[in-house]
Structure 1
Amino acid sequence: MYTLASSSLDIPNTQRNNYAFSQIRKESLDLYNRLHSIEKDIHFVNQVHDAYPQFPLIPNLRCGAWYTDPAIVQDQPGAYFKSTDGHTSNWTFNLRRPNLHLLPLIVTHDGIVLVDSTRSGKRIPDALSKTVPIWCAVVNRAIRLRYPNKVDNWDIALYTPPTVVSKNEHNEIENLLDNWAKDLQESSYSLPELQRPLRPIWLTPASSGFPHFSNNSQPFIPVVCVSASECIEEGTDRRSGGYVYIQGSGDDHELWGMGLTPNIFWRDRDAILSADRSEIVTIVTTRVVDAKNKEGVARKPTGIRKVGQRLLVCSISDLADKGGPSHICSEADMAFLIIATRREEGTIVEDPRVLSLVTPEGKKGHVHFLQHIVPQALAFIGRQLTQGARVCVACDDGKDLSVGITVIALQRFFDDEGNFIGSSTRNLGACIRPFRKTIRKLLEWIIADRPEANPSRSTLKRVNEFLMSPAFVPPILDY
């Protein structure tokens, strides 16, 4: 409730409503409120982790990372279940984000805990109430298709929370599962032979208790879906601790975080949360600046196993954190192709094994990427591969342009078994024929090793256009 001054009674209703809404929005974006709300939800997530210490604790990125301690998560990969894949009439199992990297963890630990949150008075985010159930059912059906011995008592049913997903919506989703399972089974992704089918289980702060699981005692492998936040009808609620509780506070941190990220928050969590409301902006700003100066530990470039790690993908920041490509060039067999959307210090290196290219963003960048970046990139990659080098392709985020270039290089320089066929145009007949299905297969090779790879539609359109249009046949690449 928001109490208005008595003089406001003379203000028209529209103005009073606008004032109330502006106050709610102001409080919902308040940094102090957000961080203390996250802390409240962390306690519930920790309770779940204490109940299931045998299961890996996995954040559903990006929101879930605010609620999961990196010390517990450690090197476990995050999940990429998108709420939009579960939105009504938009349901899908997307082969570009199949989350199959979670299956080895599930096999090893006989279960998993996924953490996410939601806002606007919903109990469970669509990612957990529909996207994950779709994933479980599709994986179960695809495994039965790939391993025909799994016929008897292999549960392929769709399980959704009945108080969240209507019976009609459940049935509509169920009618689509077989086609998605067929697509997954026919893809190039590997599927481990699960001993029992997957089944989602949902927990929220309103849950009366936690179900008990013990190895092999239940006919399924639990995928525990944790919705971390309390369900507040108005989305906010005043708390005795001097803050306004914001449901799903970890969502959209670009709007309220002032540069704060989950990693920075967890690194200095105690100091940040112990700050007074008047101090917290200064403390967070200082921590963000310090983090930018120090930078975290960079990821290693991701090698594509299907081609013997002859091609690798990473972000430019991964290279910068390791001293830049000039430092890593101490590895005699490594070359670097850097594709940036802005020219920055450290991205231009005088070394024959490093090619730095800059392409503008937006529509102008689309044409430039197609007509200038791709031909130069292919020539460089072909030359380096022919000389026996491995080639690391880096872009701003390691998810978009670098992935698109790597798809093209896979099609141009390797056959459908992943063998290098050389760069000469006389070997073009041995490379994978560029059809949409084969291009998707090459993208699957990358995603299997780098799950966060997520090229934009515009990048994929450029890739398809280059590979499939006669107007963009690669130039002669003999060296």
Structure 2
Amino acid sequence: MTIEPDDIGFEFEDEGITPESLQRDLKLVEKTALSRIRKESHDIYNRLHSINEDVLFVDTVAKNYATLPLVANLRCGAWYVNPENSSGSQAYFKSTDGHYGNWSFNLRRPNLHLLALIVESKGMIVVDSTRSGKRMPDALSKTLPIWCTVVNTAIAQRYNIELSTWDSRLFTPPNVVSAQEHAHISGKIDAWATALASSSYPLPRIPVPLRPIWITPSTTDFPDVSSWNEYGLPLVCVSASRFVEEGLERRAGGYSYIQGSADDHEMWAMGLTPDLFWANHTALLGCQHDELEAMVRQVVLDASFHRIKRNPPSAIAKTGGRLWLCANDDLDAATMGASSSKAYVIIHSTPSPPISLTFEGTGHLLLHVPGGKKGSSVFREDVLPKSTHFIGTALAHGQDVCISCDTGNDLAAGIVLVCLQLFFDDDGSYETGSRRAMGNKQTLQTRLEWIISDRPSANPARTTLKRINEFLLSPAR
């Protein structure tokens, strides 16, 4: 509604105000109000309380489907799933794989580790959220349905299942995905399924096909899936945030509700992570508005001095445990003590090593990779030659090797990939000597699948893979 100066109800001449000047003032007030709303959308107080409101809805859904495990879809979904209620597994259905015209089933994000959990529990709940303008994130409305259909079809291909007895159709929410988009996606399923079926990934034969259903805060009746197991394993897709037309609403509790407030947490969380939020959520939510930022800074500072354990080191099963992969924070003196039979390669981005350890009795190699373009060059020219020489020597002397980096998923995974190509044959058996000249993009893809099968979070960056291709596939200088 537009406010006209004549609607105000006083004589402009008597007050020395003209309609034009009042209209300018009204526009200034409107601009200031909008600016304040935008600022509030970045306010960590409003965001954490909005997340907590959405968590209450997620808990309601989880109680209704009490037998199904609760899984957060990274990264946003982790804010909405209390670790005490979580299955411990995490999914990575990326929204961009469901964006219009960019639909994809990415073999680097196969999520196949979820199948055992789904079969064991006869279904699963997946939680995610989205910002204003959408009722459901693309990750749940398209990426996950694509995954279900591709997996169903690939299993049918690999095990020669008759499709007349196996429902591998694509299911999408009709109020979110148009019939035209649904048809476009359906036309691509067979090719994606063939790529998965012909990959090296283990693909278990599940008893019945996967079938997604969708629940949002506007859902009035939760579907009954108790009898589904005769024809489908239910994947309950929960969009945690309530749809808000403008993305923000005032609450009587003294905060502004922000739809999908956990999205892009690097922009607002001040270093707070889902793990830190849940470890301190009672205290954080109990803070007054003007006290919260100081407490968040303290929580983040304390966490920097008390490392939180992440995933334990992952053995690359194909190698029979000769190669291991982990994050630097997963290493400690107990792991690497004198009794350890492993050798260690530790890649760190900080100027000093991230851990203070006694390496007595074990071989180790510390390598520094700075950030940015310089780091990419250092990885190719310095880290790959030194690490592969060290690892090749350790393997030849009968030592298993553990490789780590800041996350355990990028540079360290890249080094493991190179070593799988250099020192292990296509069956994963160790071979003495280098096989550098025998590699190609397909053998590298297969070995990357070995890594992801055992560490689903492994995801070497595009730049890392490019440097690996140069190192392995370019003529030796």
| TM-score of the pair, normalised by structure 2 | 0.91
Return the match for 2:236 from 181, 202, 224.
224
Q: Hey, what does 1:382 align to over in structure 2?
A: 392
SS in structure 2 of the partner of residue 170 of structure 1: helix
Q: Hey, what does 2:14 align to over in structure 1?
A: none
Measure the CA separation in 1 of the matches of 2:148 and 2:415.
32
Asked if 2 retains the 8 angstrom alpha-carbon contact of 1:304 and 1:449, the reply is: yes
Of stretches 48-57 and 15-24 in structure 1, the one that deviates more from structure 2 is 15-24
Measure the CA separation in 1 of the matches of 2:279 and 2:395.
41
User: Which amino acid is 1:151 matched to?
Assistant: L
Q: Hey, what does 1:391 align to over in structure 2?
A: 401
Return the match for 2:168 from 129, 148, 156.
156
Asked if 1 retains the 8 angstrom alpha-carbon contact of 2:308 and 2:329, the reply is: no
1:446 maps onto 2:451 in alignment: yes
Deviations 1:268-294 (A, max 9, x none): 222211222122222222222222222
1:50 maps onto 2:63 in alignment: yes
User: Which amino acid is 1:468 matched to?
Assistant: L
User: 1:17 deviation in Å?
Assistant: 5.2
1:342 maps onto 2:350 in alignment: yes
Asked if 1 retains the 8 angstrom alpha-carbon contact of 2:310 and 2:327, the reply is: no
SS in structure 2 of the partner of residue 313 of structure 1: strand
Q: Hey, what does 1:405 align to over in structure 2?
A: 415
Deviations 1:138-185 (A, max 9, x none): 000000001113433201111111111111111111111100000000
Measure the CA separation in 1 of the matches of 2:282 and 2:345.
41
Asked if 2 retains the 8 angstrom alpha-carbon contact of 1:311 and 1:392, the reply is: yes
User: Which amino acid is 1:209 matched to?
Assistant: D
Deviations 1:190-242 (A, max 9, x none): 11111111111000000011111125555111111000000001110111111
Measure the CA separation in 2 of the matches of 1:317 and 1:224.
33
Asked if 2 retains the 8 angstrom alpha-carbon contact of 1:34 and 1:245, the reply is: yes
Measure the CA separation in 2 of the matches of 1:307 and 1:346.
28
SS in structure 2 of the partner of residue 91 of structure 1: coil
Asked if 1 retains the 8 angstrom alpha-carbon contact of 2:76 and 2:264, the reply is: yes
User: 1:467 deviation in Å?
Assistant: 1.4
Q: Hey, what does 2:126 align to over in structure 1?
A: 114
1:261 maps onto 2:269 in alignment: no
Return the match for 1:240 from 252, 269, 285.
252
| TM-score of the pair, normalised by structure 1 | 0.91
Asked if 2 retains the 8 angstrom alpha-carbon contact of 1:338 and 1:347, the reply is: no
Measure the CA separation in 2 of the matches of 1:440 and 1:345.
31
1:367 maps onto 2:367 in alignment: no
Measure the CA separation in 2 of the matches of 1:309 and 1:150.
38
Measure the CA separation in 2 of the matches of 1:214 and 1:192.
23
C-alpha change, 1:61 and 1:217, in structure 2 (3 Å) is closer
C-alpha change, 1:282 and 1:362, in structure 2 (3 Å) is closer
Return the match for 2:43 from 25, 30, 33.
30
Q: How does 1:56-455 map to 2 (within 5 A)?
A: 56-73=69-86, 76-214=88-226, 217-319=229-331, 322-323=332-333, 328-347=336-355, 353-422=363-432, 424-425=433-434, 428=435, 433-455=438-460
Asked if 2 retains the 8 angstrom alpha-carbon contact of 1:446 and 1:453, the reply is: yes
Q: Hey, what does 1:475 align to over in structure 2?
A: none
Asked if 1 retains the 8 angstrom alpha-carbon contact of 2:348 and 2:354, the reply is: no
SS in structure 1 of the partner of residue 213 of structure 2: strand
User: 1:456 deviation in Å?
Assistant: 0.7
Root-mean-square deviation over aligned CA pairs: 2.2
Deviations 1:302-335 (A, max 9, x none): 111111121111111222xx248xx613343111
User: Which amino acid is 1:228 matched to?
Assistant: A
Measure the CA separation in 1 of the matches of 2:410 and 2:39.
34
Measure the CA separation in 2 of the matches of 1:195 and 1:186.
21
Asked if 2 retains the 8 angstrom alpha-carbon contact of 1:329 and 1:353, the reply is: no
SS in structure 1 of the partner of residue 36 of structure 2: helix
Deviations 1:26-50 (A, max 9, x none): 1101111101101110111001100
User: 1:345 deviation in Å?
Assistant: 4.2
SS in structure 2 of the partner of residue 421 of structure 1: coil
Number of aligned residue pairs:
460
- Structure 2, gaps ≥5 residues long: 9-16
Q: Hey, what does 2:469 align to over in structure 1?
A: 464
User: Which amino acid is 2:403 matched to?
Assistant: V
Asked if 2 retains the 8 angstrom alpha-carbon contact of 1:415 and 1:432, the reply is: no
Of stretches 255-264 and 287-296 in structure 1, the one that deviates more from structure 2 is 287-296
SS in structure 2 of the partner of residue 339 of structure 1: strand
- Structure 1, gaps ≥5 residues long: 473-479
User: 1:465 deviation in Å?
Assistant: 1.5
Of stretches 260-269 and 205-214 in structure 1, the one that deviates more from structure 2 is 260-269
Q: Hey, what does 2:12 align to over in structure 1?
A: none
User: Which amino acid is 2:80 matched to?
Assistant: Y
C-alpha change, 1:14 and 1:353, in structure 2 (3 Å) is farther
Of stretches 376-385 and 264-273 in structure 1, the one that deviates more from structure 2 is 264-273
C-alpha change, 1:40 and 1:336, in structure 2 (3 Å) is same
Higher-Rg structure is 2
Measure the CA separation in 1 of the matches of 2:101 and 2:420.
35
Measure the CA separation in 1 of the matches of 2:202 and 2:246.
44
Measure the CA separation in 1 of the matches of 2:26 and 2:160.
66
Measure the CA separation in 2 of the matches of 1:53 and 1:462.
47
User: Which amino acid is 1:413 matched to?
Assistant: F
